[in-house]
């Protein structure tokens, strides 16, 4: 009984993490546009006694003859950086990925750790569910 519940929860988690991973893949193929009025600021945070830096951006862009403004840096909220220089160097090109369904939604970059983390989570859920199904008794 408990194995069935755990397998069910693993399958739900597998579905959700796989869906998020697929959305992140799809978002990598969104159209890109050049950002205007690009402003990058960094601010310090203290986490467990360690000072880290978090970037904050604001920018505008033109898509389908309309002007939009955004402040989304990462597709899913990203990480913090060890220093201001790391945070500022990470931005790279000043182009935004624009959602073709909702052009007011845009982002500058994806965090690779989040991208691969959801893939790993999907495989781990699948593996543990299979182990419980076949060897769980």
* pLDDT score at 90: 65
> From the centroid of its chain, how far is CA 103?
18
* pLDDT score at 64: 93
Distance CA 112, CA 104 (A): 23
| Residue whose structure tokens are 């690779």 | 112
Give the domain ranges of the chain: 1-28+112-132, 33-109
Contact in structure between 87 and 55 (CB atoms under 8 Å) = yes
Helix (H) or strand (E) segment spanning residue 51: strand 50-63
Q: Which two tokens stand for residue 128?
A: 């543990």
* pLDDT score at 91: 63
Q: Give the three-class secondary structure for 80.
A: coil
User: Per-residue pLDDT for the chain (137 aa), expressed as one digit of tens each?
Assistant: 788 888 899 999 999 999 999 999 999 999 999 999 888 888 888 888 888 888 888 999 999 999 999 999 888 876 778 877 777 776 667 899 999 999 999 998 888 888 888 999 999 999 998 888 888 75
The whole-model pTM stands at 0.80
* pLDDT score at 57: 87
Dihedral sign, CA of 8, 12, 13, 15?
positive
């Amino acid at each position: 009984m408990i194995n069935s519940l755990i397998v069910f929860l693993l399958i739900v988690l597998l579905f959700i993490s796989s869906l998020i991973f697929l959305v992140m893949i799809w978002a990598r193929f969104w159209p890109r546009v050049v950002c205007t009025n690009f402003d990058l600021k960094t601010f310090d945070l203290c986490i467990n006694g360690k000072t880290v830096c978090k970037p904050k951006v604001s920018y505008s862009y033109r898509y389908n003859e309309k002007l939009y403004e955004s402040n989304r840096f990462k597709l899913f909220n990203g990480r913090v950086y060890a220093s201001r220089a790391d945070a500022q160097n990470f931005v790279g090109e000043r182009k935004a990925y624009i959602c073709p369904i909702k052009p007011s939604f845009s982002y500058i970059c994806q965090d690779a750790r989040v991208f691969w983390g959801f893939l790993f989570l999907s495989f781990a859920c699948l593996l543990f569910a299979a182990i419980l199904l076949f060897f769980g008794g």
